Chain A
Amino acid sequence: MEVLIDIVLLSLLVATAVALVMVRGLIASIMLTSVYGLLSASFFVTMGAVDVAFTEAAVGAGVSPLLLLFTVAVIGRKERAPEGGAVLVKSLLLVVVTGALLIVGTLDMPPFGSPDAPAQTHVAPYYLQQSGAEIGIPNVVTSVLASYRAYDTLGEVLVIFTAGVAVILILASSSHRGSARLRNATVPDGSPHTILQVVGKILIPFILLFAFYVQFHGEYGPGGGFQAGVIFASGVILYGLLFGLPTVCRVLPPPVMEVLAALGVLIFGLTGVMSLLNGAPFLDYSVLADDPVTAQHIGIMVIELGVGITVASVITAIYYAFANQLEPGPN
């Protein structure tokens, strides 16, 4: 049964990718990008990577196509005349070589999911056997991400923070003046999206609540700061889409988002510095409490909170920066 699902999903993925290359209208290709994101998310679920699927569904299928739509709204929806044949042949050649190399690389390997695969026999068993005693939380993925390899996770949070800094830097020319304008703008009433607004009002509280659940339940089930952050931001963005940018900016002002983005990283980083000041290696949580397992719990909770705050505020801030290009307030 699972093989069948895999075949269907993968065929759909390939078909979507081909359609993405063929289609000429930019709106259509953005929609196909979104479809591709959703299919990837489903595929991640069948592979058992539910944590990744959460993020992919929210970002790959939701937020990033939306940002592309904003861009198209600014630059127009027509693609420039397609490139000449020489460029196409060159790109095709490159893709074929890369694809062939990818296939060659996997030929010698045991099949997917095989218990003899090196990936299953070297480091992974240690995590599965020891993390219960050392970290004491049921979700081993969270143990690896938030403790064994917490430094990578700090790096990833900084990647997201950097992305936020980059977007604000590039789109900033009017952003600071714009945000002041947005805060003072009056909220227009009598919007044409009444039905969507009513449905949205019912949905959004649950989306936000679910984000909190994913945030604080990450130690026990799939989830954690990254997933919670993107889900929370999706809720905020949905609110912004339905009720207008000025309204959502009054609830969560852009400068506050920028400060929160930095604060989230600092919460994570300074947790590590606390270990440092107590003479333990950076991000060694054992100094946070007397009992090592409790200390791990506290450490993981705190850094996941930092991750969640940064992810949610960076994605919201990126949304503000894009949306601001499109509707720069009522004046």
Chain B
Amino acid sequence: MLSQLPVLPVLLPLIGAPACALLRRPTLAWVFACLVAVLAFLCTVSLFTTTWQEGVQTYALGGWPSPWGIEYRIDLLNALVLLVVSGIGAAILLASRASVWQEIGETRRGLFYVACLLCLAGLLGIAATGDAFNLFVFLEISSLSTYALVAMGPDRRALLAAYNYLIMGTIGATFILIGIGFLYMLTGTLSMADLGERLPAMGESRTAFAAYAFIVVGVCLKLALFPLHLWLPGAYTRAPSIVTVFLAATSTKVALYVLIRFTYSVFHLEFSQLAQALDTVFIALGVIAVFAGSLVAIFEADLKRGLAYSSVAQIGFMVIGLGIGTVEGLQASLIHLFNHALMKGALFLALAAFILRVGSSNFSSLRGIGRRMPLATAAFVLAGISLIGIPGTAGFISKWYLVLAAAAQQQWILLGLILAGSLLTAVYIWRFVETAYAEPEGDSVIQRNEAPLGMLLVIVLLALLNLYFGFDSRLPVETAGGAAQALLGGDAS
């Protein structure tokens, strides 16, 4: 069975989803979805350790070797993204019951979990595959299910948010498909490894340029990189709380992975004239995203929307790392990919618990939440501290490596901007702390009313992981370092 390991994390939710659709009772569907997600996570952990110890794992689907067939080629980068997505996916599904039962109507709960599994399968499929067209197919699975999941939000504005996301997402997916079409026209192959060998040999062709342009714009739409982020705040705000946690912690990470994979493994832009110009663009857009996102987050009256804008800002940090263009920069970007999933997972899940108990994510209704739900609030604050990047938390590791990467290139202005951006994060997290521990208005007695146990455990676990990876950062740092080395250094000869 060990030789089948690379395909199992994707296959479990992929076949689990239609099987889940046959279960008529929502509780059963939830239990089944959790089971599938946890199994997929266990397979991913096993795959991750195998890749760590033995190097790249290949798997020829249908028994046809690449480029005739579709191939999975799991390296450290794939394994890291798979680990993040499946881990967060399993944790969130386990925690989801109370929130879903409150926000989703009874007739929809069963299919809701089917859509969750489809989304998970799609994202894992993107992160695992070594074939450009197969990537697009799984992108479609994850996108379609995401639109439906966003539309399940509690009020009708969710439909509009889902519609906006659908239009933007479809343009993005179409651009990616056009890009892949150009690549096939240019090389006659769809396998990424084969593309990576054949494309640099073609020299600088206009077709390759057009292909890369389409793919970058398409992926950046999915990634919600400023100024293509307009769908994100609406979708995150209006979606059901659980869906927001899942999207914030996984889907943009997978988009970042696609951008990195195409840039370095397929196009090998590190050798190209274009790279310099592109790096500047990525850094500029990243910096604008950090400041624009953070500033809006500071003045936002609704915490869920505020955190959504904070995601735009955090994506900015990841793209800055990519734009620095060195092994260290890419490593920082990947570390932040890992850590940000933990931070936003904890933050949005704690927020889902607040919404479950209070019924709103407005700052005004969150007054005194720290007395009402002390553990969930503490977890939120801990994850918030990590988001700022205070030493002792995972967020500090991200920022530290990002600052080091900027310093190594002597980009002092950029370094200052990164630090200033982190300070802005502190402003909006502090605003929550102030509200949460403020005296409630009037003299009403606040009842202690914690989140349901299952949900609370996952919230606390995610928050503590932020602490854990702040002290023992070997897993993300070494994996990201190895992955970045393989992308930029390994095949430089």
Which of A109, A150, A169 is close to B151, meaning CB atoms less than 8 Å apart?
A169
A150 to B7, CA, bound (A): 14
Q: How far is the CB of A265 from chain B (nearest CB, A)?
A: 4
Residues of B140-165 contacting chain A, CB below 8 A: 140-141, 144-145, 147-148, 151-152, 159
With an 8 A cutoff between CB atoms, is A280 at the interface? Answer: yes
Contact status B206-A105, CB under 8 Å: yes
Contact status B148-A166, CB under 8 Å: yes
**Using an 8 Å CB-CB cutoff, how does the interface string of A21-39 with B read, 1 for contact, 0 for none?**
0000000000000000000
Q: How many residue pairs at the A-B interface have CB separations less than 8 Å?
A: 182
Which of A152, A159, A269, A276 is close to B70, meaning CB atoms less than 8 Å apart?
A152
With an 8 A cutoff between CB atoms, is B61 at the interface? Answer: yes
A286 to B64, CA, bound (A): 11
With an 8 A cutoff between CB atoms, is A302 at the interface? Answer: no
Closest to B112 in A: A169
Which of A106, A165, A175, A270 is close to B15, meaning CB atoms less than 8 Å apart?
A270
**Using an 8 Å CB-CB cutoff, how does the interface string of A108-131 with B read, 1 for contact, 0 for none?**
110000000111111110110000
With an 8 A cutoff between CB atoms, is A132 at the interface? Answer: no
Beyond A109-B186, A122-B189, A123-B189, whether A101 also contacts B107 by CB under 8 A is: no
Residues of A268-297 contacting chain B, CB below 8 A: 269-270, 272-273, 275-276, 280-286
A105 to B493, CA, bound (A): 29
**Using an 8 Å CB-CB cutoff, how does the interface string of B106-139 with A read, 1 for contact, 0 for none?**
0110011011001001100100000101100110
With an 8 A cutoff between CB atoms, is A151 at the interface? Answer: yes
Interface residues contributed by chain A, number (CB under 8 Å): 61
Q: How far is the CB of B162 from chain A (nearest CB, A)?
A: 8
A269 to B21, CA, bound (A): 14
Contact status B7-A282, CB under 8 Å: yes
Chain A residues contacting B70 (CB-CB under 8 Å) are 149, 151-152
Contact status A118-B187, CB under 8 Å: yes
With an 8 A cutoff between CB atoms, is B59 at the interface? Answer: yes
Chain A residues contacting B59 (CB-CB under 8 Å) are 281
With an 8 A cutoff between CB atoms, is A86 at the interface? Answer: no
Chain B residues contacting A158 (CB-CB under 8 Å) are 14, 17-18, 118, 121, 141
With an 8 A cutoff between CB atoms, is A77 at the interface? Answer: no
Contact status A266-B15, CB under 8 Å: yes
With an 8 A cutoff between CB atoms, is B442 at the interface? Answer: no
**What interface size band does chain B fall in?**
35 or more
Chain B residues contacting A107 (CB-CB under 8 Å) are 206-207
Contact status A169-B111, CB under 8 Å: yes
A42 to B234, CA, bound (A): 40
Contact status B62-A147, CB under 8 Å: yes
Residues of B34-82 contacting chain A, CB below 8 A: 59-64, 67-70
* B interface SS class: helix
Q: How far is the CB of A55 from chain B (nearest CB, A)?
A: 16
Beyond A101-B214, A162-B118, A176-B107, whether A109 also contacts B62 by CB under 8 A is: no
Chain A residues contacting B182 (CB-CB under 8 Å) are 105
Contact status A259-B22, CB under 8 Å: yes
A258 to B7, CA, bound (A): 27
Which of A148, A163, A275, A286 is close to B69, meaning CB atoms less than 8 Å apart?
A148
Beyond A147-B62, A283-B61, A283-B62, whether A104 also contacts B206 by CB under 8 A is: yes
A273 to B15, CA, bound (A): 9
Chain B residues contacting A242 (CB-CB under 8 Å) are none
Beyond A151-B62, A282-B61, A283-B62, whether A162 also contacts B115 by CB under 8 A is: yes
With an 8 A cutoff between CB atoms, is A168 at the interface? Answer: yes
Closest to A103 in B: B210
A154 to B18, CA, bound (A): 12
Contact status B147-A155, CB under 8 Å: no
Contact status A166-B137, CB under 8 Å: no
Closest to A170 in B: B151
Closest to B214 in A: A101
With an 8 A cutoff between CB atoms, is A261 at the interface? Answer: yes
With an 8 A cutoff between CB atoms, is A6 at the interface? Answer: no
Contact status B62-A173, CB under 8 Å: no
Q: List 24 A-B contacts (CB under 8 A).
A: A102-B210, A105-B206, A105-B207, A105-B214, A109-B186, A117-B188, A118-B186, A148-B64, A149-B69, A150-B61, A151-B62, A151-B134, A158-B118, A161-B18, A166-B144, A258-B21, A261-B21, A262-B18, A269-B15, A273-B11, A280-B63, A281-B59, A281-B63, A283-B61
- 20 further interface pairs, Cβ-Cβ under 8 Å (given A105-B209, A126-B68, A158-B121): A106-B185, A106-B207, A107-B206, A108-B206, A123-B189, A152-B131, A152-B134, A152-B137, A158-B118, A166-B115, A169-B148, A262-B18, A262-B19, A262-B22, A275-B63, A276-B11, A281-B4, A281-B59, A282-B7, A285-B62
In the A-B complex, the 4 residue pairs with the smallest Cβ-Cβ separation, listed nearest first, are: A105-B210, A122-B188, A166-B148, A284-B63
